[in-house]
Amino acid sequence: MTSIATPAPETDRRARGEAALAEITGASGQAVVDSLRGIAPELADWILDFSYGDVFSRPGLDYCTRELATVAALTAMGNAQPQLKVHIGGALNVGCKPEAIVDVILQMAVYAGFPSALNGVAAAREVFSARGIGPSDSAKG
Amino acid sequence: MTSIATPAPETDRRARGEAALAEITGASGQAVVDSLRGIAPELADWILDFSYGDVFSRPGLDYCTRELATVAALTAMGNAQPQLKVHIGGALNVGCKPEAIVDVILQMAVYAGFPSALNGVAAAREVFSARGIGPSDSAKG
Amino acid sequence: MTSIATPAPETDRRARGEAALAEITGASGQAVVDSLRGIAPELADWILDFSYGDVFSRPGLDYCTRELATVAALTAMGNAQPQLKVHIGGALNVGCKPEAIVDVILQMAVYAGFPSALNGVAAAREVFSARGIGPSDSAKG
Amino acid sequence: MTSIATPAPETDRRARGEAALAEITGASGQAVVDSLRGIAPELADWILDFSYGDVFSRPGLDYCTRELATVAALTAMGNAQPQLKVHIGGALNVGCKPEAIVDVILQMAVYAGFPSALNGVAAAREVFSARGIGPSDSAKG
Amino acid sequence: MTSIATPAPETDRRARGEAALAEITGASGQAVVDSLRGIAPELADWILDFSYGDVFSRPGLDYCTRELATVAALTAMGNAQPQLKVHIGGALNVGCKPEAIVDVILQMAVYAGFPSALNGVAAAREVFSARGIGPSDSAKG
Amino acid sequence: MTSIATPAPETDRRARGEAALAEITGASGQAVVDSLRGIAPELADWILDFSYGDVFSRPGLDYCTRELATVAALTAMGNAQPQLKVHIGGALNVGCKPEAIVDVILQMAVYAGFPSALNGVAAAREVFSARGIGPSDSAKG
């Protein structure tokens, strides 16, 4: 495993992480990172270097699939609404279709119950509405 | 099992579900269902047909026991306050006494911890207050 | 509130708790309490005095409704299988019908998802089987 | 919304659900359904008709993306190991690559913590091993 | 075990609990207890007698370590923000340093994921800000 | 913040992480890391570099306090028994007293409910027993 013999330099992790954060979350992720600088700067570092530089930058999965998996998990957990909204927006940013995001949220009714799905849809409605994405873009009833 | 050989027609599920939803949640459940029509109409369908038409309409348990079980679960999970309020109201609608609802919430202190019970009581206070149910109706200290 | 002005003596809490524990859980609850004496005797005290002496002994709800609420919560939480089995047995001990227990577990599919309901049914099957309760007693398909 | 005006007949839901269950979970899902027939036949019906017939059969997402979302959610929740294993196997059945499954599980370290990811990897190792999928198929360190 | 042979009288539990509640939570815990008197007076009793009189008053751990453990658990659970804020304040009241509180919250990124840590930091920022504790007191980046 | 301007080289993170892992978890943590090399080598890297090299190695808290916070969180979450056992052992390795570990677990009865505390005590009993730590070392009833 070369990752152990010759680990990537820190500077590469930071650059990869900043690029991934910008592409996925746009301004909202950077605002979260900036807000941490006063009280918990290490958490800001870890988000950039570890979450985005190490994990999200791995080549095995495209960003849309990664964001749909994140939306699924946060909807199911149901205790992280601010982050769920960031990643619903992130899914849109990386090209996921609105109806695919809603589909993943609805599927959580099966695995985590209807309240999780309902609160996930409420988050999606808020994010979609702020971007001018209407019902005809996300629902095909 | 006749339910497999001769499943109930869809129209029966919908009618049963709409009747159960109306009896249990009154206007608040219908408002939730209506709000879904724009963004996730299938979720509205599933709530009516599956949650209320299939599950809640089963004859084995009376509605008050079902609602107390729901209040217990949502209090314990602690991540679905909007739905908890709907079902505290639903418990009142189907004839549960206010003190029985509070008793079930308090019991969750044992199984899910005091924060869950405290947040459950806060939800009950809000629902009771909106209906003019006072302390003398729910507490017997 | 007289409970504050003149609290019940400790000896009453213990006696009430022991009686409730015996009635609800039979030998299995006592075995749990006994097993704690070596490593965490205070936890054994609290189960007797607080959980059963204070909470379960309150007069507002009958034991079967309390046990169904507990089964609902533990099924929904999904991280306490040993305790779920104790309380499925407890529900039987206090006179709940097997099909009512199954009904409450199935209802959790709506609120906590199908995996919770499936694992709850697996716990019920194990408890029912150990007591010689067959499908014809719990299922009415 | 035509799904309300002219709902699909029950027989279609069942046929769709059985086909989806077979394609996704192979023998393991059918075994779960069969095991429910004695104790909770309605739950078996709901899995077929609702989970697979209504939800998984929606056309918006391909099966591999749906299974990866399910693996993400069950890994994050951490309280449904039997179902996680079924859906890791399901992801393989519908053509997800082993390394994509592992990638989604690893990503949960960010959203639900390292214990969830570790227990998810343990589940994957067990499923992969039973199918003769070796490290060289899933890891590219 | 003398605690069983000669349990502490109720009046001692209450006095111990009131003293611990006052020392740890100051006015905020008392406000919670008072607000319960109308709707659920028993829950107020249990908080005083059991949570603070029995559990927190045990001599084995100092209050700061107890509060850090509580902050860790509530951050990880992620579904009890009001209680998390009370105990971040409680940790300060019993002499924990602001940076120790932040350190425990950050550590939860490893065990419960980054969203839990982020929401924990948001709670800490709010409590610190209300007390005039600035970044230079809690961060040492 | 110098951590941003001049990040620590990767080799330092790895060395710090390996030292911390060895001191805290002894052989058990290394066994977990080794077992990941075949299926998910990146997760092994992240545990060493991020969890132990970045987070646990921060100077703000002593290892015993960190391990007690971890034991509190994993007991409360209740869905990570293997990791809970590793960290109960880790708490012993870094010098926490057995009764302090039990005290933190018991305190979780208040915040996450009695089932969490009971399952935490069961984990502690198993770890203590394997190390020949008897009741007289952990209980002072």
pLDDT in tens, F98-139: 999 999 999 999 999 999 999 999 999 999 999 999 866 665
Average pLDDT, chain D: 91
- Is residue E1 over pLDDT 60? no
Q: What is the mean pLDDT of residues E49-58?
A: 96
For chain D, what's the residue count?
141
Which is more confidently placed, E2 or D89?
D89
CB B111 within 8 A of CB C70: yes
pLDDT-derived band at C27, boundaries 50, 70, 90 = confident
Residue with tokens 């965490």: C40
Please tell me the predicted confidence (pLDDT) of residue A2: 32
- Is residue E97 over pLDDT 90? yes
Q: Which two tokens stand for residue F36?
A: 């990941």
CB C78 within 8 A of CB C114: no
Q: Which of A117-121, B135-139, D26-30, E63-67 has the lowest mean pLDDT?
A: B135-139
Please tell me the predicted confidence (pLDDT) of residue D7: 53
3-class secondary-structure state, position F40 = coil
Q: How far is CA C2 from the centre of its chain?
A: 29
With an 8 Å Cβ cutoff, is C110 touching chain A?
Answer: yes
Candidates A122, B43, C65, C79; CA nearest to D3 is B43
Global model pTM greater than 0.80 = yes
- Is residue E48 over pLDDT 50? yes
Q: What is the mean pLDDT of residues E39-56?
A: 97
With an 8 Å Cβ cutoff, is E124 touching chain A?
Answer: yes
**Between the CA of residue B3 and those of D14, D34, D44, D113, F138, what are the distances in Å?**
11, 15, 11, 42, 56
- Is residue E124 over pLDDT 70? yes
- Is residue E4 over pLDDT 90? no
Q: How close does chain E come to B135, measured CA to CA in Å?
A: 5
Average pLDDT, chain F: 91
- Is residue E39 over pLDDT 60? yes
Cα F119 from Cα C81, distance rounded (Å) = 10
Contact E49/C7, CB-based, under 8 Å? Answer: yes
Average pLDDT, chain B: 91
Please tell me the predicted confidence (pLDDT) of residue D135: 67
Please tell me the predicted confidence (pLDDT) of residue F138: 60
> Which residues of chain A lie closer than 8 angstroms to D73, CB-CB?
72-73, 75-76, 108, 111-112
Q: Which H or E run includes B29?
A: helix B10-36
Q: What is the mean pLDDT of residues E102-110?
A: 98
Contact D39/C139, CB-based, under 8 Å? Answer: yes
Contact C69/B70, CB-based, under 8 Å? Answer: no
Q: Dihedral of CA A2/A3/A9/A13: which sign? A: positive
Cα F131 from Cα E38, distance rounded (Å) = 50
Q: What is the mean pLDDT of residues F30-49?
A: 95
- Tens digits of residue pLDDT in F57-106: 999 899 999 999 999 999 999 999 999 999 999 999 999 999 999 999 99
pLDDT-derived band at C1, boundaries 50, 70, 90 = very low
3-class secondary-structure state, position D37 = coil
pLDDT-derived band at E9, boundaries 50, 70, 90 = low
Closest-CA residue of F relative to E6 is F141
Which chains does chain F touch, 3 or more C-beta pairs < 8 A?
Answer: A, B, C, D, E
Cα D35 from Cα D47, distance rounded (Å) = 12
- The beta strand positions in F1-141, using DSSP E, are none
pLDDT-derived band at B134, boundaries 50, 70, 90 = confident
CB E13 within 8 A of CB E49: yes
Contact A70/D103, CB-based, under 8 Å? Answer: no
CB F95 within 8 A of CB F64: yes
Q: What is the mean pLDDT of residues A16-33?
A: 93
Which chains does chain B touch, 3 or more C-beta pairs < 8 A?
Answer: A, C, D, E, F
- Is residue B6 over pLDDT 70? no
Average pLDDT, chain A: 91
- Is residue C91 over pLDDT 70? yes
DSSP of chain C: -HHHHSPPPHHHHHHHHHHHHHHHHHHHHHHHHHHHTTT-HHHHHHIIIIIIIIIIT-TTS-HHHHHHHHHHHHHHH-S-HHHHHHHHHHHHHTT--HHHHHHHHHHHHHHH-HHHHHHHHHHHHHHHHHTT--HHHH---
